[in-house]
Structure 1
Amino acid sequence: MVEEYIRLLIKNGEDGQGLPSQRDIAEKLEVSRTTVKSALLHLQNEGQITSQSRRGIQINKKKDVNLLSMSSLSDELAGENITIEHMDSRLVSVPKNLRDFFGDSLKNIAEIKRIRYRNGVPFSYEITNIDENKFSDITQVNLTNKSLYRVLKESYNTVPVYGFENISATLATDEIRMHLDVAEKTPLYIVESFNFAKSDQPVEHTVQYLSGENFKYHFMAKDILGYQKEANDDIV
């Protein structure tokens, strides 16, 4: 009963909004504070709420993504009201910073730009680079509301199996804030990923810009140096 009551408060509240204190909830529902604390701990473990010193209990509606998972962002967000807008695909010269990844012999790569929406609100602006020599006509594929990884699997029989990511932060520039519909200098995550197939061949490189106002990341691993994802991974 206590947990369902708090879930209702979360559903009707806004991200970052404070919840009543343990004492207030206990008095309203006529239960012990121990019962309330147990319900809050369960919801906190689910990521539904956060608890910080001097700030109390707050609603958390930011989407939580496992940074070390090799699943695509589409799979990470499965079950959410997600739509994808395919903005543009074209051939471009390989940037200097990607020559080691794709190899010196490659002159041009396909550049794919997309925006993801969650409940109609843009939250991710993505620029993907991929070798069109290996994935012929990829620039002709309409990726609106399609997972790139699924297209690679179904049309090219290729699946990224490992990779690495760099995560940093920046403030929204004019171009990016226009795509994400955020105010100037809004804090953004920059997630840059380099992904490979089983043969150690590079598959794709992606840079994602995500609003820090509605996204967060966590790491799930038993051994972060020799990482292998398991069903019972612990938080590190």
Structure 2
Amino acid sequence: MRVPKYYTQKVRIQELIRDAAPGTMLPTERELAERFGTSRTTVRQALAELVAEGRLDRVQGRGTFVAAPKIVHLRQLTSFSEDLAGLATRSDVLALSEEAADAAVAAHLRIEPGAVVHRVERVRRVGDEPLAHETAFLVGPLPDLARELAARGSLYRTLREAYGIVPAGVQDDVETALASPDEARVLETDVGLPLLLVHRTAWDAAGTVVEWTRSAFRGDRFRFRARAGEAPGEPRVPSPG
């Protein structure tokens, strides 16, 4: 798969602003082009995508600045399988392993960096079409997780039935992004396709975090619906767009 030239510069700019505070001013297009050894046109396209994603703000006559983080809170207590009940869904496990939590994963799970977590990477499908790329990190002793998950399919059902872990609350942080080359390959689509990113943190009745998951949904095939309570006469299921 050919990676567009601008995408390489976009990644470089993302690294440049990774630890920058909101409001930090970026170098000019000319300065960035000279730094990266590319054209201003290529830099301009990379900046335009980052502006569209909400990572940068462009102020006419002043310049381009690091944007404040976008945060949207949606709360759901259902799994992918439950949300799409009635449709022919399946999950293909790409990887399932135990590993040491890095600083970011540890912070989300509220554990010490280096603690062992379970990592489950899957492609979620409706029919044969890939809809989402999901990576879940789970805490706690989960013996024979691969076998238990294969027997049930649903991760939440597996946690509940095999390990007695029942999420009592979740927080979904939702934002938009564009598909990277790796995500495009897994989702069988084009680099730059709009994605809906859902970062889910789940905790049990005691308030202990039991899951942190990053899900990248294809923006051309998914509509996200959040609801508190049931609306009479209406289905609860979100439908692919």
Could you state the TM-score of these two structures normalised by the residue count of structure 2? Answer: 0.60
Name 1:123's counterpart in structure 2: 131
Quick one: which of 102, 116, 124 aligns to 1:108? 116
Quick one: which of 174, 187, 206 aligns to 2:181? 174
Q: Secondary structure at the match of 1:184?
A: coil
Name 1:156's counterpart in structure 2: 163
CA deviation vs aligned residue, 1:6-56 (integer Å, no higher than 9, x gap): xxxxxxxxxxxxxxxxxxxxxxxxxxxxxxxxxxxxxxxxxxxxxxxxxxx
Q: Equivalents in 2 of 1:108, 1:87: separation in Å?
A: 19
8 Å contact 2:103–2:113 — kept in the other structure? Answer: no
Q: Alpha carbons of 1:125 and 1:191: their partners in 2 closer, same or farther (altered >3 Å)?
A: same
Shift of 1:108: 1.7
Q: Secondary structure at the match of 1:218?
A: coil
**Over the residues paired in the alignment, what is the CA RMSD in angstroms?**
2.2
Quick one: which of 210, 213, 220 aligns to 2:220? 213
Alignment of structure 1 residues 76-155 onto 2, 5 Å: 76-100=83-107, 101-104=109-112, 107-131=115-139, 133-139=140-146, 141-143=148-150, 146-155=153-162
| Structure 1 letter corresponding to 2:87 | E
| Structure 1 letter corresponding to 2:118 | A
8 Å contact 1:85–1:143 — kept in the other structure? Answer: no
| Structure 2 letter corresponding to 1:114 | R
Name 1:197's counterpart in structure 2: 204
Q: Alpha carbons of 1:78 and 1:173: their partners in 2 closer, same or farther (altered >3 Å)?
A: same
Gaps of 5+ in 1: 1-66, 222-229
Deviates more, 1:154-163 or 1:144-153: 144-153
Quick one: which of 187, 190, 205 aligns to 1:183? 190
Shift of 1:68: 2.9
Could you state the TM-score of these two structures normalised by the residue count of structure 1? Answer: 0.62
Identity level (%): 20
| Structure 1 letter corresponding to 2:86 | G
| Structure 2 letter corresponding to 1:180 | L
Q: Alpha carbons of 1:145 and 1:80: their partners in 2 closer, same or farther (altered >3 Å)?
A: farther
Q: Equivalents in 1 of 2:210, 2:119: separation in Å?
A: 13
Name 1:231's counterpart in structure 2: 230
Name 1:45's counterpart in structure 2: none
Name 1:37's counterpart in structure 2: none
Q: Secondary structure at the match of 1:154?
A: helix
Shift of 1:106: 5.9
8 Å contact 1:84–1:116 — kept in the other structure? Answer: yes
Q: Equivalents in 2 of 1:144, 1:169: separation in Å?
A: 33
8 Å contact 1:115–1:122 — kept in the other structure? Answer: yes
Shift of 1:182: 0.6
- Aligned residues between the structures: 159
Q: Secondary structure at the match of 2:150?
A: coil
Q: Equivalents in 1 of 2:145, 2:110: separation in Å?
A: 16
Q: Alpha carbons of 1:146 and 1:173: their partners in 2 closer, same or farther (altered >3 Å)?
A: same
Alignment of structure 1 residues 33-44 onto 2, 5 Å: none
Gaps of 5+ in 2: 1-73, 233-241
